[in-house]
Chain A
Amino acid sequence: MKPLAAVRRFSGRWGLVVALAILPIYYGIRDLTHGYQAGLANGHPVIHHDLSHLGFNLVQGLSNGAIWALIAIGYTLVYGIIELINFAHGDVFMIGSFTSAGLWGTLGLGLTTGVLGLIAGLIVTLVVSMTVCGSLNVLIERVAYRPLRSAPKLASLITAVGFSFILQNVGLLWLGGSPQGVPDLIGESQTVFSISGVPIVRGYILAILVMIPLVLALGWFISGTRAGRAMRATAQDPEAARLMGINVNATISLTFLLGGMLAGAAGLIYALYETNVWYFQGFQAGLIAFTAAVMGGIGNVRGAVLGGLIIGVIQALSDSRLGPQWTEAVVFGYLIVIMILRPRGLLGEETREAG
């Protein structure tokens, strides 16, 4: 106990910042000194000594991170209001991807669709996917969490895990057990422009373009509207909020609706961006996004976005340097490091749970 406490006193927030910065700095220096293989010329590897590979990782990471940020907000909103890790959230996101991919088929969106049709179709898909995921999340809250709200917290955590498995198996029956390719509607890997040798492709722009307005709208909703004020009040003290005339049950449902809608949007971006969907994507994405939420400080929306972007960069670095098969272990390693150094995350306040 004593050494742990000492480490924490010593480290605080900056310890975590240093732990997070180590990976990009290490690989940046390594690229400069040892170089990296940029390609093949006449069968010989071409070695470059610059930072464009790192820049590529960062850009890719930030746009991956946009997806994780959208999912992480769902975790953080729900945790903020009822202190529950909504394990099924990642799988709601998966259902969003599946709905989007299925809807493209129904609407007849394909590689030959014109630009206007494509934009209209994608907007319809976005709306439907957000509606489906939002309603699904509200339904899960109603069926699995609300009856247990007065029971020990372990109980609703267990039903959350149970629902996660139910949704996974729904996905398994829906599209089978292996990743399914979906049409690359936007030509996601086409370079739009490049900044000092780092290509910016359409997929990245899409992810960022969808994420930023949604996050801004959410921020406005929470801070600027009556319903948002009710959410904040309920998060702070449900009992007092009820006494002030706030409908607590409706507010909690609204929180689940918002989280689910963002997950639905993330699901659509994921399908466009990765051009494949499978039933297990939700579980992995859920764990990564949860790590992001904890890293930013759970309960804090800005923290979730920051954490999502950071985790995206870590993931991109690990994918391209260590190999994607190790990424999960690296992300979880970071989760454990956060738990040791600063359980309340980068921007979070001290909570009773995280002590």
Chain B
Amino acid sequence: MSELKAQFSEWRAAINRVLPPWFSRALALSLIVIAIIAPFFFAKTSGFMNATIIAFAFAVMSLGLNVVVGFAGLLDLGYVAFYALGAYSLGWFGSDFFFKAHIHVGVSGIAATESGIHLNFLLILIAAALICGLAGMIIGLPTLRLRGDYIAIVTLAFGEIVQVIAVNGQSVSVGGGMTLTAGNLGISAVDSPYFPLIGNFTLLNLRPWYWLIFVILMAVLFVNLRLRDSRLGRAWVALREDEVAAVSMGIPLVRTKLSAYAIGAMFGGMSGAFLGTYYTTVNAGQFQFGFSIFILAMVIIGGLGSIWGAVVGGMLLGYINQYLIPDVLNTLPQKFGLNFSLTQIEFGIFGFMLVLVMILRPQGLIPERRRRLEMTSEIAAEDAQLVESGAPGGPA
């Protein structure tokens, strides 16, 4: 095994020597260009496009959860709360749900004439981010003094409370015969995004949706990359590795932890608002605990704390969930004479993947550099070498 590994790293080094220094940037740029023109090679309503759009949205959520769990090391099992709040921001501010109000900002078509609150999708996106950021901080507050498992349980409890409120919101009046949510019936007449020059999005042409979520994904990815290398990002990692040491080095505990919760929640909210309008309904049944675990599985399988891992994990599980299980493998058990379909047990499959990854490859598919070093204990090996060779002054 180790010989094989050494061989691989040798090859990798050799390839890196041959390639010009601008190669990785050129590769990234060409991938982005390919992603932008990709929709022209598919039909306007193709199932694969649909799966890709949803996979992108999941990748955005995965990036958000990665900030909380991966960077800051706060295990959040209630991430579905932000999906719910993001989707409800869309339901509240982009439909005729609050029918007593007449507010229209930057919308056209039917949305401009209906009653209710109708904001432009960009405004809703900002509103969703703000609401979720605030909710993230509220959820973070009671967990500040807690560690490890207790954080997981408190966030789980918040997620469940949000779901219970979403389901029963039908009986919570907000005045004038209007209710808080539409429960399991769903707020279903939500606006589709409208942009000048492009017009209203329709489900008969998925390309604009694709580009919209692609732009959101790129923006979130960019913010993530910048955050990771920022002062705040380093503070998160320091808190994750050793809270006592980090605090005694002057890292403000409260602000740093709360900002991790808030930023992670914002991305979840943005993705939730997008999925709300894309699914054309905001339904309380979507916000199950299983979804939190689904997103967590993306982060874990990709590699905790690794940005590219989160994107790959999100896309991978998105495709498995949207395409592979329902369209390709769904009838597999029936071929073996078993009386069920794979979509019934998809959460069981994700649970199984979680266990498998954790036991066989705990660092994930694309591990973060620091974590990879920890896991394979290369640092320890290096230290041992240094001690053996009696090098003065420690590592250079």
Contacts and interface: CB of A to CB of B under 8 A. Distances in A.
Partners in one complex: yes
Interface of A: 1, 4, 83-85, 143-144, 147-148, 151, 153-159, 161-166, 168-170, 172-173, 177, 283, 287, 290-291, 294, 325-326, 328-329, 332-333, 335-336, 339-340, 343, 352-355
Given A153-B149, A325-B168, A355-B146, A166 B340 contact: no
Given A173-B344, A326-B168, A339 B146 contact: yes
Contacts of A84: 149
A161 B150 contact: no
7 contacts: A153-B149, A154-B148, A168-B347, A170-B348, A328-B164, A353-B147, A355-B146
Nearest to B152: A157
Contacts of B186: none
A153 B344 contact: no
B345 A148 contact: no
B348 A165 contact: yes
Nearest to B164: A329
Nearest to A335: B157
Interface in B284-314: 289-290, 293, 296, 300, 304
Contact of A339 (B150, B165, B355): B150
Interface string B346-381: 011111111100110010000000000000000000
B351 A162 contact: yes
B150 A354 contact: yes
Contacts of B168: 325-326
Contact of B145 (A153, A177, A355): A355
Contacts of A162: 350-355, 358
Given A173-B345, A340-B142, A325 B167 contact: yes
Contacts of A85: 149, 152-153
Nearest to B293: A161
B160 A328 contact: yes
Given A148-B358, A169-B347, 12 more contacts: A148-B359, A155-B362, A158-B296, A162-B354, A163-B355, A165-B354, A172-B344, A336-B142, A336-B154, A343-B146, A353-B147, A353-B148
B254 interface: yes
A352 B351 CA distance: 29
A76 to B, nearest CB: 13
B53 interface: no
Contacts of B290: 165
Contacts, number: 140
Contacts of B296: 158, 161
A326 B145 CA distance: 28
B161 interface: yes
A341 to B, nearest CB: 10
B156 interface: yes
A226 B168 CA distance: 51
A328 B160 CA distance: 8
Contacts of A291: 157
Contacts of B344: 169, 172-173, 177
B75 interface: yes
Contacts of A168: 347-348, 351
Interface string B131-153: 00000000001111111111011
Contacts of B201: none
A130 B283 CA distance: 40
B113 to A, nearest CB: 36
Interface residues of B, number: 48
Contacts of A165: 290, 293, 347-348, 350-352, 354
A154 B358 CA distance: 10
B160 A4 contact: no
B146 A157 contact: no
B158 interface: yes
Contacts of A325: 164, 167-168
Contacts of B265: none
A154 B362 CA distance: 10
B273 interface: no
Nearest to B75: A154
A158 B152 CA distance: 10
Interface in B61-88: 73, 75, 77
Nearest to B304: A154
A339 B152 CA distance: 12
B293 A353 contact: no
Nearest to A165: B351
Contacts of B358: 148, 155-156, 158-159, 162
A166 to B, nearest CB: 5
A34 to B, nearest CB: 21
A340 B289 CA distance: 23
Interface string B160-201: 110011011000000000000000000000000000000000
Interface string B229-259: 0000000000000000000000001100000
Given A325-B167, A326-B168, A329-B164, A353 B150 contact: yes
A144 B356 CA distance: 9
Contacts of A157: 75, 148-149, 152
B149 A158 contact: no
A354 B164 contact: no
Contacts of B300: 158
A178 B395 CA distance: 61
A161 B147 CA distance: 18
B66 to A, nearest CB: 13
Closest 3 A/B residue pairs (Cβ): A169-B348, A165-B351, A162-B354
Contacts of B355: 143-144, 159, 162-163, 166
A258 B368 CA distance: 39
A210 B49 CA distance: 57
Contact of B161 (A144, A283, A333): A333
A157 B148 CA distance: 9
Contacts of B351: 161-166, 168-169
Contacts of A148: 358-359, 362
Given A148-B358, A153-B149, A163-B351, A335 B154 contact: yes
Contacts of A354: 146-147, 150
Contact of A329 (B141, B165, B254, B293): B165
The residue in A291, A332, A353 that gathers the most chain B C-beta atoms within 10 A of its C-beta is A332
A304 to B, nearest CB: 15
Contacts of A352: 147
Nearest to A162: B354
